[in-house]
Structure 1
């Protein structure tokens, strides 16, 4: 790669690595100011704005706290915030080309999204989904399907797509019977760069996450297959170029780390950087899924030496990606001569009133729903310490799961087996207040739309599963002072600290990873390796999410019941939430047998 005089490779790539928004100048052309050897060709500019992982956020609102959203960094959320920034940039660039893309995970993640999938599903009412209402106001050019688009089944997904005023893309999702694309693979948009400017044809390729095959197996098995993202890009980019795309953008719902949360049975979960590196003909990639804020990253394509621009705009509408390209037209073809990207904070603008108005009634209905009282709690129950202490609030989940599976298997060949249950602290901020417990409190404890399943595990498999979860604790020698804030790896999500009910065990964090589970027993009797148990577990884990060992098996129970709703139903039926009904301390962190806490 050649750089203009006075611009070193180190200075340009160093700025890119640091996340700076300085443009990379591409080889052999004028810079953005039209300077260069000989007569400078006329330059044009294109801006691409990108969102991703909005996860059902329209208003800047926390439904679990029933307050305006806020966090320690004072981020804001929601499509209404994104729309305000987009409209601001469009106004600044009036008469110039501006495209708006989204990289997926749109229709799941808040009680607003759940309400119109579960309580008043759009497939039954025919109403327009709130995320379709909001995004149509913003006038996207294209959206990519994320893995969470498949959570509520294909009928709801397909209806949502039909409600959009722009294309939804997913080139690597193919019909399981025909092998043909199940959704629109790409679009080529004719873009005006200004008065009297030649037309620019922008190709936009959408790639969804292959983890759908694991995480939503029940919804897609036998219907859809999910191909490798790198191979899919390599197939479609040349086709798009041959069909007239002057530049090619990819909107990918896959992070840039190159690693997956599951095993090798399906293609890589986070290959965006690999796509840029291995597939020629790509100019830039907007990516999502990992929920990271990546303002600007350049990856060198190994075939062409070209620098490919990548950017990821965090999550929930907290950031808006802005990519700026300088172009010249020579010999009847377009060439990008400079590219840069930045990440804009949505807390700098007020919510767009048109978006708020479009979703106001649906937002109000959701707020009313989540504030319904389901039971009274005798005590305040918190998940703040659930990663490293046995807490009643996780035993509440395990009690409901155990009772549900036990009742369902009564009279079957599995009825004689002990029923164990697995839960995890999805949110350490979850609290059941003493007194009235509302739907929002239960939803704040169980924030995912997981369904309940059950499989049969041996004693050896139970121990292996617990060892896998125990690896996320730091090693703490005997005598060292425990720090609750660092005793578990802060880089590991809370939901990987799975706990079992129905067996007693210690986690000895002075021991090496792989040999930390001690005293695994029932009623004081050691659990034999060949003992058999029915284990209640959520569909995400059972399908391989997190790559926990031994759990990907044929289910002995799968009634497609949402765990969050089961928790609500149990509380409503009882009328009260009393730890005496479900709290059975059965595990602890120890060092050489001595409790850590």
Structure 2
């Protein structure tokens, strides 16, 4: 059964967004989970209910890949989108009884696909119209959602418009107003479930967002909102929820399970803190985890104060999975107590899309598909990534140029005077920008991953070490001459016995002056980078550079040296793919002559002699 959207809309008109507590009653014919008598006089009862959870939907409403202009598919054959989630939710409601279920999200909803981008930047909902993600989530019948850090990417006015369009509360207990110090969003909601023949069960849902918003979206939130620690905030609100009658406390946390911080000690609060919340805050029964894009069917953490288990689950990303928490209660001496919580994840690729959601978003989908195939600029010449793994190409130069410009624009103070370098990998051998008209899809093909951009600081010695790691991609040769690409690339290593993938080979390039170097395949691994120079001057070990780098690399992907501990100077959580699209849209013309050197910045050699490589 869908929850009555009109009733929810009326509650929102009464001030849901600012309220600290919201009590809702779900009423529908029961099919499961009824209270059962077990003791004399009917005083002891049991009841079971289910909390379903999504997270990191990232604008995926339908099972569609906008950049391939086809249904979404990946190597694991995952499916994505709220239309798939809707079918899973309907199945759970039918199995457990709609009256005995709740549906919650853990954030990062309005950014990540062309659909989300279109209704934020091209036809923003602040100028009219309903956000497709709001429409779909309302139709499915969500009960609450936590704020993700990406909710702030398009500014607070658009976020507030999105919030008003929801028929359920958007929660963020640790997002507070700089001016008043009070919560900027509802901290929590208390839902009421009605077992047949039993006392109502009150389920508190606490929403926590990521403290990193203060760094990643500083330009949008500075002076307006501040973001406290998850543990500190939960310690305040969980007891309050219990005092206000919550029999069960569920936390929806946009924070990963494995404690870590991409921003190091820049903030006093860790980025990924869900396990810490479970361990350190008494009174929590389960945590819906988000942010880390991991699949955690069930993880049990023991609270150090009470010794009680807290169950965590994370539903991967993009609507690929639905977390399902089954909560068992017993009623004794006038109160409900949690006897156990079990969790699992359901796979969206096992069900069809809900045709109601598909139909609901048909017009918006058609509009965005047209947009993605639309022309946004021109290129003075064709650029191909087909040979980018073994020779300097304009295609990778273009990516590095845009990345480096974006990072340079964010630098402040003494760091703004440092030379900026950038790294890019040959992700897609089929990627090509045609001469003449260029579409959104053409540009997106250059960058097929959803990586975001950071700027870190490395020394000259670290730059060389980074390039030496990258050069492990190549197989050794014994003489100068001509080689097919397959004889040189994708070298097997101890960590990649089947061959180093293309995405683990990085090319590095300078923005305001060339960074030049040779990769000498006549030298042993670790000693292949020769002639490393910036603007024609040999790079000194102590020289400092700013490196435009993607979040996968910076977080340790590929195990490149120096990057995980390097100072982070820029981190606005902006997708690189979207940066490329925005750059072409703004500049209108791609002219490789403006960012590609006449002579190659790097080349493959043997003992100093250039190698010739054939496809």
Give the TM-score range, shorter chain. 0.7 to 0.9
Following the alignment from structure 2 to structure 1, what is the Cα–Cα distance between the partners of residues 582 and 180?
A: 38
Report the alpha carbon displacement of residue 56 of structure 1 after superposing the two structures with TM: 0.4
Q: Does the 8 A contact of 1:450 with 1:563 survive in 2?
A: no
Call closer, same or farther: CA 1:45–1:571 in 2, change over 3 Å. same
Q: Secondary structure at the match of 2:47?
A: strand
1:299-310 counterparts in 2 under 5 A? 299-310=301-312
Q: Does the 8 A contact of 1:377 with 1:577 survive in 2?
A: yes
Query: Which of 389, 398, 401 is equivalent to 2:400?
Result: 398
Report the alpha carbon displacement of residue 134 of structure 1 after superposing the two structures with TM: 1.1
Following the alignment from structure 2 to structure 1, what is the Cα–Cα distance between the partners of residues 256 and 501?
A: 16
Report the alpha carbon displacement of residue 307 of structure 1 after superposing the two structures with TM: 1.2
Q: Does the 8 A contact of 1:475 with 1:510 survive in 2?
A: no
Report the alpha carbon displacement of residue 369 of structure 1 after superposing the two structures with TM: 0.8
Q: Partner of 2:332 in structure 1?
A: 330
Q: Partner of 1:484 in structure 2?
A: 490
Following the alignment from structure 2 to structure 1, what is the Cα–Cα distance between the partners of residues 387 and 112?
A: 21
Q: Secondary structure at the match of 1:367?
A: helix
Call closer, same or farther: CA 1:190–1:64 in 2, change over 3 Å. same
Following the alignment from structure 1 to structure 2, what is the Cα–Cα distance between the partners of residues 71 and 222?
A: 41
Following the alignment from structure 1 to structure 2, what is the Cα–Cα distance between the partners of residues 496 and 227?
A: 38
Query: Which of 118, 128, 131 is equivalent to 1:129?
Result: 131
Following the alignment from structure 2 to structure 1, what is the Cα–Cα distance between the partners of residues 174 and 47?
A: 33
1:123-522 counterparts in 2 under 5 A? 123=126, 125-193=127-195, 195-266=196-267, 267-373=269-375, 374-375=377-378, 378-379=381-382, 381-382=384-385, 390-400=392-402, 420-425=420-425, 428=428, 431-432=431-432, 434=434, 437-446=438-447, 461=459, 463-464=461-462, 467=465, 484=490, 499-501=508-510, 502-505=514-517, 519-522=531-534
Cα shift readout 1:158-206 (whole Å, capped 9, x = no counterpart)? 111111110111111122233222211111111123x222100101111
Report the alpha carbon displacement of residue 303 of structure 1 after superposing the two structures with TM: 1.4
Q: Partner of 1:585 in structure 2?
A: 600
Q: Does the 8 A contact of 2:428 with 2:447 survive in 1?
A: no
Q: Does the 8 A contact of 1:377 with 1:432 survive in 2?
A: no
Following the alignment from structure 1 to structure 2, what is the Cα–Cα distance between the partners of residues 257 and 405?
A: 28
Q: Secondary structure at the match of 2:588?
A: helix
Following the alignment from structure 1 to structure 2, what is the Cα–Cα distance between the partners of residues 404 and 93?
A: 50
Structure 2 runs not aligned, ≥5 long: 1-34, 479-486, 557-562
Q: Partner of 1:107 in structure 2?
A: 110
Call closer, same or farther: CA 1:113–1:95 in 2, change over 3 Å. closer
More deviation, 370-379/144-153: 370-379
Cα shift readout 1:451-508 (whole Å, capped 9, x = no counterpart)? 99999x8xx7455456468668869997899872766978999599573332113579
Q: Partner of 1:552 in structure 2?
A: 569
Following the alignment from structure 2 to structure 1, what is the Cα–Cα distance between the partners of residues 151 and 378?
A: 32
Call closer, same or farther: CA 1:274–1:93 in 2, change over 3 Å. same
Q: Partner of 1:75 in structure 2?
A: 78
Following the alignment from structure 1 to structure 2, what is the Cα–Cα distance between the partners of residues 302 and 452?
A: 37
Query: Which of 95, 118, 122 is equivalent to 1:119?
Result: 122
Report the alpha carbon displacement of residue 259 of structure 1 after superposing the two structures with TM: 1.4
Call closer, same or farther: CA 1:52–1:395 in 2, change over 3 Å. same
Report the alpha carbon displacement of residue 88 of structure 1 after superposing the two structures with TM: 1.9
Q: Does the 8 A contact of 1:52 with 1:313 survive in 2?
A: yes
Q: Partner of 1:55 in structure 2?
A: 58
Q: Does the 8 A contact of 1:463 with 1:517 survive in 2?
A: no
Following the alignment from structure 2 to structure 1, what is the Cα–Cα distance between the partners of residues 184 and 192?
A: 24
Call closer, same or farther: CA 1:384–1:231 in 2, change over 3 Å. farther
Q: Does the 8 A contact of 1:417 with 1:532 survive in 2?
A: no
Following the alignment from structure 1 to structure 2, what is the Cα–Cα distance between the partners of residues 209 and 299?
A: 20
Cα shift readout 1:67-120 (whole Å, capped 9, x = no counterpart)? 011112211110111011111221223364100000111101001111111111
Q: Secondary structure at the match of 1:552?
A: strand
Q: Partner of 1:85 in structure 2?
A: 88
Cα shift readout 1:125-146 (whole Å, capped 9, x = no counterpart)? 2211111111111111100111
Q: Does the 8 A contact of 1:397 with 1:567 survive in 2?
A: no
Q: Secondary structure at the match of 1:445?
A: coil
Q: Secondary structure at the match of 2:569?
A: coil
Q: Does the 8 A contact of 1:396 with 1:582 survive in 2?
A: no
Following the alignment from structure 2 to structure 1, what is the Cα–Cα distance between the partners of residues 320 and 244?
A: 36
Report the alpha carbon displacement of residue 567 of structure 1 after superposing the two structures with TM: 3.3
Q: Secondary structure at the match of 2:108?
A: coil
Call closer, same or farther: CA 1:497–1:548 in 2, change over 3 Å. farther
Q: Does the 8 A contact of 2:397 with 2:596 survive in 1?
A: no
Following the alignment from structure 2 to structure 1, what is the Cα–Cα distance between the partners of residues 154 and 343?
A: 34
TM-score, scaled relative to structure 2: 0.75
1:8-87 counterparts in 2 under 5 A? 41-87=44-90
Q: Partner of 2:3 in structure 1?
A: none
Following the alignment from structure 2 to structure 1, what is the Cα–Cα distance between the partners of residues 140 and 67?
A: 26
TM-score, scaled relative to structure 1: 0.78
What's the RMSD between the two structures over aligned residues?
4.6
Q: Does the 8 A contact of 2:467 with 2:529 survive in 1?
A: no
Q: Does the 8 A contact of 2:172 with 2:207 survive in 1?
A: yes
Q: Partner of 2:484 in structure 1?
A: none
Aligned length: 546
Structure 1 runs not aligned, ≥5 long: 1-31, 556-560
Following the alignment from structure 2 to structure 1, what is the Cα–Cα distance between the partners of residues 530 and 351?
A: 54
Report the alpha carbon displacement of residue 212 of structure 1 after superposing the two structures with TM: 1.3
Report the alpha carbon displacement of residue 242 of structure 1 after superposing the two structures with TM: 1.2
More deviation, 70-79/220-229: 220-229
Q: Partner of 2:579 in structure 1?
A: 563
